[in-house]
Structure 1
Amino acid sequence: MALVQQSSPHARNARPTSRVMLWVILATLPGLLAQTLLFGWGNLINVVWCILVALGAEAAMLAVRGKPLAFFLKDNTAAVTGLLLGLSLPQFVPFWVSAIAVISAIVMAKQLYGGLGSNPFNPAMVGYALVLISFPVAMTTTWAEAALLWESAPGFGETLGAIASGQQTTVDAFTMATPLDEYKHKIASYTAAEVLQHPTFGDGVARGWEWVNGAFLLGGLLLIALKIITWHIPVSMLAGIAVMSLAFGSNPDQYAPLGLHMLAGGTMLGAFFIATDPVSAATSHQGKLIYGAGIGVLIYVIRTWGNYPDAVAFSVLLMNFAVPFIDHYTPPRTYGHHKARRGVPGRTQG
């Protein structure tokens, strides 16, 4: 009888990519539910639309490349890309803007590099950044006012009509700037107490946004508990934001306070679901800590002194550039050895 001979270490119960991605999808459901309850139907509609476009774009590119459709589509990676964009985009963004974001993510950032495992940049963030730069008005004026689903906010049909037609006149009364955007542009002329009187902040940190970020935090902790992701990138990213905020933003009359950075915008979604992309992120634990901290520092720098109020996409993409450098100098320990090889090649280490 022939025996299969394999060298150690022996891996057991390996989870296929499709199952890992399915857990990621399930972990986002608390955040999607919170978005729907607090901001209306926009994100749910965007998620369904973006997933359909992502699957269609993936199928088209696989057909062009002569790859088997069923084998690659069932790994759920295209669905996750569409899902992340649907969760990240404004609630009333026109359908064609979200479609451009998804197609750019799948075609340009994923398939043109060779498909899953070959893309150096996070596909969803490539799509998001592209439409943010190309269509700034649509991406900054179509955010829904928070906590209005049960207060005669636009219904499902009205929201779907606004997204499908691209005409926002019917929902203008229910849109406003995000808390980070509002604070960033008003703090130069008003005190923090005056800025916080705006309805977008409500009685908490940022009306509705703190609950959404809390829900994504809950889903992220589930992924860590299931060992789908490790804690290194989320913790170091949040620590990077916190350290920068405590060092430079202690005066709320000049800069957004720490609570706003943590619980407004896409902070928790970015920390647990976007920055942790296994393909474009750093590899070793030490590298993940550096990578996550770099994202956190860049988020604070761009939010505070840059032109964009929420900077998760740009920060992740900038650190994607640095991943080869980080991986080169932070290699994991080779199995059976006590220390990892480090240093500049060609030099001896004392």
Structure 2
Amino acid sequence: MSALETPDDRLQQAMKRVLLALLPGLLALFWLYGWGVLINLMLCVGTALIVEVGVARLRQQQLQPTLSDGSAVVSATLLAVALPAYCPWWLTVTAIASGLLFGKHLYGGIGKNPFNPAMLGFALIMVMFPQPMTHWPAHGLDLLAAVQQVFNPAQAPDAWVQATALDSLRINKSLTMDELFAGNSAFGRFGGRGVEWINLAFLAGGVFLLQRRVIAWHAPVGMLASLFVVSLLCWNGSGSDSHGSPLFHLLSGATMLGAFFIITEPVSGAKSALARLLFGVGVGLLTYLIRTWGGYPDGVAFAVLLMNLCVPALERFAATRQAQVTP
């Protein structure tokens, strides 16, 4: 690190590396779902930049530092990959605009937000419009059909959307896990069909961030370890009442995206090492509880927001523990 580097320079560099680390996951999503992923991304990034410019104008701030830090683009990209591909354009625009306005600028801008903006936007849309948020495509569309689907959802082909593996498992009452994996097209080899590779791609990006020391290991390890342990303890084999194996939970939904790109957000997450570890453990436990007994198929977004509320308590606990062990 250069002695001449400013905090803004370090922030910009970190945001560039986060975007680079997201690239494998974006490519995997494009491979699985096609052009809808890129349309989501363009809508999210474009709307995020418009919101940033509008807020800067209202606050009479200079545009250059507001836009150059890259935080809005990162939040937009995270939200774009979390939203279902080919969701209606207004849903994507509403999600990122509400996430930035209510999760970031309402509290004074970057560095002051208590909640993760991308996950707040996702959760708000999930609560307000649950039906389109469950419409995940079974396969990709060509560019023209993708544009028509996003801007004119009435053109959706028959039997094109399907429940995810997590949603299918949550509502399952009679089929064994073996039957689900053999007969349900949403299931792949270990987790969701194709989603296994997406999670592995985000894992690769997360390892890159760890290697470059953009993020610390505490929160990701805490989340993945707690999710693994609780799913192992609650796993009862392949019966019809099974909640899924540890490997299924690690390779389904937004697990790796959450572990390496969402809970490591430096502002709304914990700061000290012990608090970060506990933060990750809490997110992992809540994710499993929501997936298994909650009303939503995944749970990462709600788990992160709930743990955001606990950050002050975690920091106080970590400080107390540090004081006790310090001679």
Distance change >3 Å, CA 12–CA 230, structure 1 → 2: farther
Question: Aligned partners of 1:69, 1:106: CA distance in 2, in Å?
Answer: 16
- Say which of 177, 181, 193 aligns to 1:192: 177
Stretches of structure 1 that go unaligned for 5 or more consecutive residues are 1-9, 333-338, 344-348
Q: Is residue 37 of structure 1 aligned with residue 31 of structure 2?
A: yes
Q: CA deviation at 1:38?
A: 1.4
Report the aligned-residue RMSD: 2.0
Q: CA deviation at 1:204?
A: 4.6
* Aligned pair partner of 1:214 in 200, 209, 212: 200
Percent identity of equivalent pairs: 41
Task: Determine which of 237, 240, 245 is the counterpart of 1:257.
Answer: 245
The aligned amino acid for 2:323 is R
In the alignment of these two chains, the number of paired residues is 321
Counterpart code for 2:187: F
Residue by residue, what CA displacement relative to the aligned partner does 1:74-101 show, whole Å, maximum 9, x if unpaired? 1011111110110000002101001111
The answer to whether the Cα contact below 8 Å between 1:39 and 1:91 also exists between their aligned partners in 2 is: yes
Q: Distance in 1 between matches of 2:279 and 2:158?
A: 39
Structure 2 distance, partners of 1:78, 1:108, is 13
Letter in 2 for 1:288: R
Quote the Cα distance in structure 2 between the aligned partners of 1:326 and 1:12: 34
- CA gap of 1:94–1:259, structure 2 versus 1, over 3 A, is same
More helix by share: 2
Q: Which amino acid aligns with 2:63?
A: L
Distance in structure 2 (CA, Å) of the matches to 1:342 and 1:116? 33
Q: TM-score, normalised by structure 1?
A: 0.87
Residue aligning to 1:304: 292
Q: 1:12 to 1:300 in 2, by over 3 A?
A: farther
Structure 1 window deviating more from structure 2 (175-184 vs 212-221): it is: 175-184
Consecutive aligned runs of 4 or more in structure 1 exceeding 6 Å deviation? none
Q: What whole-Å deviation, never above 9, does each CA across 1:32-78 have from its counterpart, x for those lacking one?
A: 00000112221121011101101111111111111111111110111
Q: 1:66 aligns with which of 60, 65, 77?
A: 60
Tell me the amino acid that sits aligned with residue 96 of structure 2.
V
Unaligned runs of at least 5 residues, structure 2: none
Out of 123, 137, 141, the position equivalent to 1:144 is 137
Give the number of the structure whose alpha-carbon radius of gyration is greater: 1
Instruction: Give the Cα–Cα distance (whole angstroms) in 1 for the partners of residues 187 and 77 of structure 2.
Output: 27
Q: Give the CA deviation at 1:12.
A: 7.4
Q: Which amino acid aligns with 2:166?
A: L
- Separation in 1 of the partners of 2:294 and 2:322? 38
Shift of 1:166: 3.0
Q: 1:234 to 1:12 in 2, by over 3 A?
A: farther
Greater shift, 277-286 or 256-265, is seen at 256-265
The structure 2 residue matched to 1:81, chosen from 75, 88, 96, is 75
Q: What amino acid sits opposite 2:284 in the alignment?
A: G
Partner residue of 1:5? none
The 1-side partners of 2:116 and 2:82 are apart by 14
> Quick one: distance in 2 between partners of 1:86 and 1:288?
25
Displacement of 1:331 in angstroms is 3.1
